[in-house]
Structure 1
Amino acid sequence: MPYLFTCPHCHTRTEVEDEFSGQSGECVVCGREITLPDFAPGAASNRTSKAGGSGPRKRRSAAWVAAAVVMLLLVGASIIAVARIGGTTAQRLREGRARLASIKNMETIAQALNAYAADHGSYPAPAIYSRSGKPLLSWRVAILPYLGEEDLYERFNLSAAWDSGPNQMMTYQDMPSIYRHPDSQPWGTDTVYHLVTGSGTLFPKTGALGPKQVTDGATKTLLLVEARVSSTWTEPLDLDFVGTGGKINSTSGNDFGGVTEGGVCVVTVDGRGHFMPETTAPMTVNALVTPRGGEPLPDDVLD
C-alpha cells in the first residue's frame, strides 16, 4: 500500500510503500538522511488514492526509478570503498609478511656470524683478502660452513676474486636463499643484508671485533642491517658508516634501509631481529652502530 511522505529537508513529496515503514535512508532528491514514519493502517490522509488514472502510477514509477538509481550509486560507492580498503589491507599484510621473513633471514645469518665468532674469537673480516691485501670475496662466503653450506664453501677458490672463473659461476648459480630478500626475484644474485663497516663500528679497518668486545651491550649494538647497497652476495661490499649520517630510507643511496617500507630491519649482536622506523633519530642510529661508544640509550630503544 503506497503512502505519501514529505521530506523534512527539501519538502519533496513522494510515494512510499508501507513495507518500508520506519526505515532510514537518503532522500532521492536532496540526498540527506531521512527516517520514514510508521504508517498506521488508519492513516487514510496520507494514503494515495488509486483514482485518477495513470498520474499516481507515473509519479510512483519515477520515484522508484530515482530510488533505484540512488541505490545503485550507493552500492557502487560501497564496492569501490571496500576495494580500496581491501587493497590497502592486502598490501600491508604482504609488507608485514616480507618484513618478518627478512628478519628471520637476518637472524639466521646473525646466528652464523656469532658461531664463527665463538670459534675464531671475533667476527669474520668484511672480506677474504689476498696476500697483497686486495678484497676478494665477501664475509658471506666465509660463514657458509656455519649455514650448512660446507660443500659450496669448499668449491670456492678463496685465492681468487668473486667475479673470476669458477667463483663467478657459483655466484650466479649457487646463491643460498638465506641471502635473498623475500621480495627479490628468485633468479637474482643481489643481497640487501650488510655489515656496517668503518671506524667506530664492529668492523673497522684494523680488524673485526667480537661479541666480548662490545661494551655498549649486545642488545644495543647492530650486527647486521638491510641496505640498498648494490652488490652480489659474494662481492666484498658493505655499508660504509661514514657516508650514512644515521639516516634511514633517504634518497642518498648510501644509508640504512631502502628495502622495507617505513623503516629498516636490523639484527643486534645478541641475534635478535628488530624493525627500526625511519623516524628514528640519526643520533640514535649512530649510537646503535658503535659497540663501544658509551652513548646512553634506553633499554627499550629497539622495542
Structure 2
Amino acid sequence: MPYLFTCPHCQTKTQVDDRYSGHKGQCATCGGDITVPYFTDAGAVQASATRSATAKRNKSTGLFVAAGLAVVILACIVFAAIRYGGQTVAALTENRLRSASMKNLQEIATALNAYADEFGTYPPAYTTSANGTPLHSWRVLILPYLDEVELYDQFDLSKPWSDEANMSVAYQMPGVYEHPDTNAVGYSMVPAYYYLTGPGTLFPKGKPLGPEDVKDNGSQTILVIEGRPTISSGMWTEPVDMDYGKMQGLVGGAVGIEPGGWIPGGVAMATVDGRAHFLPIGTPASTFNALVTPAGNEPLADDTLD
C-alpha cells in the first residue's frame, strides 16, 4: 500500500510503497540520505491519535450540550417557581385556613344543636336584663356544650358582659371562637363566627327558632357563619352578630356587612345539620339568601353545598 513520504532535506513528497518501510537510501531529488519510516506503525499511531482526538472533541461537545441543556432546564424551573410558586403557597395556606375554620364551625354547630336538644330552641343571640338591656352573647350560653363548664361558671350572667368581673373572665376566650388566621386581626379576643339575625332568619328579634321550625332542608340552612362585623370592645362576649337585613347576599362583599372577610376565596359556614361548608366568591345572592331562610321554600339543587 503506497504512503506519502516527505524528504526531510528538500521537502519533496513521494509515493512510497509500505514494503520499503525501514529502508535507507538517497532522495531521488536532492540525493540526501533518507530512511523510510515504518508506514504501518505510523499510520496506526496516527489513526489512534486521530480517534482519540475525535473522541475527546465529541466528549467535550457532549458535555457542552448537556451543560447548556441543564442551564436551560434550571432557568425554566426558576421561572416557574417565581411565577407559580407564590400562587401555590397562597393556595395551600388558604386551603389550610379554610379547613381549620370549618372544623371550628362544625364544633360550634354541634354545641348549638346540643343546646337546642335540651331547650327546644337555639340559644338567643343574647340574653337581656329585666328592662331589655343586652347582657351576654350566645357564645357564653353554649360554653357548657363546648366542654367549658368551668369557664361558664365564672361568668355572672345577671350582670352585663362589660361588667368588670365579667370582662376579666372574658380574656379566656375558647380557641374554637378564634379564626385560624390570627394575623388578620392581631387581637385574639375577637370572635370569627356569628349568627345571621333579623326577619327571615333562624334568629329574628325576640325568641329564636329551633330545629323543628326549619321547614327547608336543614342541610341547606345556615346556622352560623364567618364574619367580621364591628365589635366596639373587641370581645367575644359582646352581644354582636350580623344583621341580615343590611346584606345583599354578596359573599366576600363589604367587610363587616356581607358574610366573609377572613378567607379571600369565600366564606365558611355551618348548616343546621351540623356540617361545615364553604361558599366561594361568586355564589349568586339568590343562592345565599335561600340558604339563610329556614322556611322560605326556595328550591336549591342537591349539590349546592358540595
Is the shorter-chain TM-score for this pair beyond 0.5, marking a shared fold? yes
Q: Distance in 2 between matches of 1:254 and 1:171?
A: 25
* Aligned partner of 1:270 among 259, 273, 287: 273
Contact in 1 for aligned 2:181/2:262 (Cα 8 Å):
no
1:140 matched residue in structure 2:
139
Aligned to 1:177: 175
Is this contact kept in 1: 2:135–2:239, CA < 8 A?
yes
Unaligned runs of 5+ in 1: 1-46, 51-56
1:1-303 equivalences under 5 Å are 72=71, 75-172=74-171, 174-184=172-182, 188-231=188-231, 232-251=235-254, 253-303=256-306
Q: Which moved more, 1:91-100 or 1:119-128?
A: 91-100
Q: Any idea what the Cα deviations from partners look like across 1:96-122, whole Å, max 9, x if unmatched?
A: 111111001100000000000010010
Q: CA deviation at 1:299?
A: 1.8
Q: Is the 8 A contact 2:126 2:138 kept in 1?
A: yes
Quote the offset at 1:160 in angstroms.
Answer: 1.7
- In 1, Cα distance between equivalents of 2:66 and 2:152: 73
**SS of alignment partner, residue 275 of structure 1:** strand
Is contact 1:227-1:257 (8 Å) kept? yes
Which 10-residue stretch deviates more, 195-204 or 243-252? 243-252
Output the amino acid matched with 1:85. Answer: Y
Structure 1 residue 91: Cα displacement: 2.0
Give the Cα–Cα distance (whole angstroms) in 1 for the partners of residues 113 and 66 of structure 2: 70
Summarize deviations over 1:36-89 as a string: whole Å, max 9, x none.
xxxxxxxxxxx9xx9xxxxxx9xxx9xx99997896576345323224433322
State how far apart, in whole Å, the 1-side matches of 2:243 and 2:87 are: 35
8 Å CA contact 1:129–1:136 kept in 2: the answer is yes
AA at the equivalent of 2:181: D
Where does residue 34 of structure 1 map in the other structure?
A: none
CA spacing shift, 1:118–1:164, aligned 2, 3 Å: same
- Contact 2:228 2:255 (8 Å CA) reproduced: no
CA contact 1:190–1:230 (8 Å) conserved in 2: no
Aligned equivalents of 1:199, 1:267: Cα separation in 2: 20
Aligned-pair identity in percent equals 46
Judge conservation of contact 2:102–2:269 (CA < 8 Å) in 1: yes
Secondary structure of 1:276 counterpart = strand
> Which residue identity does 2:125 align to in structure 1?
P
- Partners in 2 of 1:270 and 1:281 — Cα distance? 22
RMSD: 2.8
Provide structure 2 residue ranges, at least 5 long, that are not aligned to the other structure. 1-49
Paired amino acid for 1:189: M
Is the radius of gyration larger for structure 1 or structure 2? 2
